Amino acid sequence: MLIQSQEMEDVLFRLFVKYGFSSVKAAVLAEIYTNNTIDGVNSHGINRVRQFLDYVEWGLVVPNAEAEMLGSFGNMERWDGNLGPGIINATKCTNRAIELAKMHGMGLVALRNTNHWMRGATYGWQAADAGCIAILFTNTKPNMPAWGGKDSRIGNNPFVVAIPRKEGHVVLDMALSQYSFGKINSYKLEGEKLPYPGGWDQNDELSNDPEKILTKERGLPIGYWKGSALSMVLDIITTVLSAGDSTFRIGQKAHESGVSQIFLCINPERFGDKDIQDKLLDEIINYTHDVEPMRPGERTYYPGERTLLTRLKNLENGIPVDDKVWQNILVLLE
């Protein structure tokens, strides 16, 4: 079914208020969940709302908690999320990293004790809109085997890079698993197989069956051993700089909570050569666009380009949403 963006945002706002969020926080949550769905990332938008509210009911997400700064070290800060909603904490810490970048050229906020930020690209777009380059990442519960191991010991720690651009920001948002588990769940919801293997089944064989992969949550690292190593490095950085929980400690809990995150922003305007920067950026994008496609009808895209196309389409035509998911949202309002 198709839902208009304003209708979705209004329904979600009322729902979040019902679950104890202030009107200010409910508005931010409703806007970001809606925007994620507009951009075609239902797995971290409308499809994730029910699970988020479950976490609220279980006491894992504290609606009125506020992230607070624990220490300041020049252009670096350490914050505690106090188990508040991940979206609210991430929005606040991205804004702070932007402020530090505007003051110092670069700014870093290390956040601990927070919750799932949903779609990491949200904060990449936020930083790029403010004219900043951003490098952002989070750790997660163990959901991938370290390369050569059998059981999950590392997280698919999402990694985001954003570069501001007048004609459309460049925004890379990727989990370190071949498919994010939100995406795998989307394929399961639609009753479809993954286009490529995405993890191991119970027989230790690579599979493209969402049900079999989700049974033990053993995702396939991107680049095999390279993705495994990158996952470990990102977990180390987030844990050390935030003094928060590592993937190991998160995995000791019944549910994923209290994760650690990094928000690094760079203000390229400090160099005073924006025209040259824009020219170089366009040169790179134009070069990758100007190539014969592998197959007829295909073309190349820079990171974030297809998101912009999806956004325009869904704003014009309405947002595609699974009927059952939407009905479940409406039931929660009753």
pLDDT, tens digit (0-9, with 9 covering 90-100), for 115-152: 999 999 999 999 999 999 999 999 999 999 999 999 99
pLDDT in tens, 219-235: 999 999 999 999 999 99
Q: Residue 262's beta-bridge partner residues?
A: 110, 137
Q: Residue 281's Cα: distance from chain center in Å?
A: 24
Asked if pLDDT for residue 163 goes beyond 90, the answer is yes
Residues 6+ apart with CB under 8 A from 272: none
Amino acid at 153: R
Rounded to a whole number of angstroms, the distance between the first and last alpha carbons of the chain is: 21
pLDDT digits (tens, 9 = 90+) for 305-327: 999 999 999 999 999 999 999 99
β pairing state of 76-80 and 106-114: parallel
Q: Is there a domain that residue 9 lies in?
A: yes
Position 22 in a domain? yes
Query: Which amino acid makes up residue 116?
Result: H
**Residue ranges making up the domain that contains 2:** 1-57+305-334
Rounded CA-CA distance 3/174 in Å is 26
What's the pLDDT score for residue 201? 95
Among 1-10, 61-70, 175-184, 245-254, the range scoring the smallest mean pLDDT is 175-184
Half-sphere CA count of 52, side-chain side, radius 13 A? 30
pTM here is 0.95
- Residue appearing with tokens 């100007």: 290
- pLDDT surpassing 90 at residue 182: no
Closest Cα partner for 33 from 272, 329, 239?
329
Could you write out the three-class secondary structure of 167-221? CCCEEEEECCECCCHHHHHHHHHCCCCCCCCCEECCCCCEECCHHHHHHHCCECE
Give the number of domains in the chain.
Answer: 1
Under 8 Å CB-to-CB from 292, ≥6 apart: which residues? none
State residue 202's pLDDT score: 94
Burial class of residue 198 (count of CB atoms within 10 Å of its CB; 0-12, 13-18, 19+): buried
Average the pLDDT over 236-242 and give the result: 98
* pLDDT > 90? residue 265: yes
Burial class (CB in 10 A: 0-12, 13-18, 19+), 94: buried
Tokens of 273: 């050569």
Q: Where in the sequence numbering do the catalytic residues fall?
A: 44
Asked whether residue 167 is assigned to any structural domain, the reply reads no
Residue 192 has pLDDT above 90, yes or no: yes
Q: How far apart are CA 305 and CA 168, in angstroms?
A: 7
81 in any annotated domain: no
Residue 327 falls within a domain, yes or no? yes
pLDDT band at 282 (very low <50, low <70, confident <90, very high): very high
Residue 198 placed within a domain:
no
Asked if residue 194 lies in contact with residue 179, where contact means CB atoms within 8 angstroms, the answer is: yes
- Which 3 state secondary structure label does DSSP give 136? strand
Assigned domain for 177 exists: no
Tell me what pLDDT residue 189 has.
85
Q: Please name which of 65, 66, 79 lies closest in space to residue 241, comparing C-alpha atoms.
A: 79
Whether 49 is in a domain gets the answer yes
Could you give the CA distance from residue 229 to residue 223 in angstroms, rounded to a whole number? 10
In angstroms, rounded to a whole number, what is the distance separating the alpha carbons of residues 34 and 263? 23
Q: Is the pLDDT of residue 186 over 90?
A: no
pLDDT, tens digit, for every residue of 72-84? 999 999 999 999 9
Q: Which two tokens stand for residue 185?
A: 């769940």
Structure token pair of residue 237: 């950085």
CATH number (domain holding residue 334): 1.10.1530.10
Does residue 159 carry a pLDDT above 90? yes
Distance, in Å, from the CA atom of 247 to the CA atom of 153, rounded to the nearest integer, reads 8
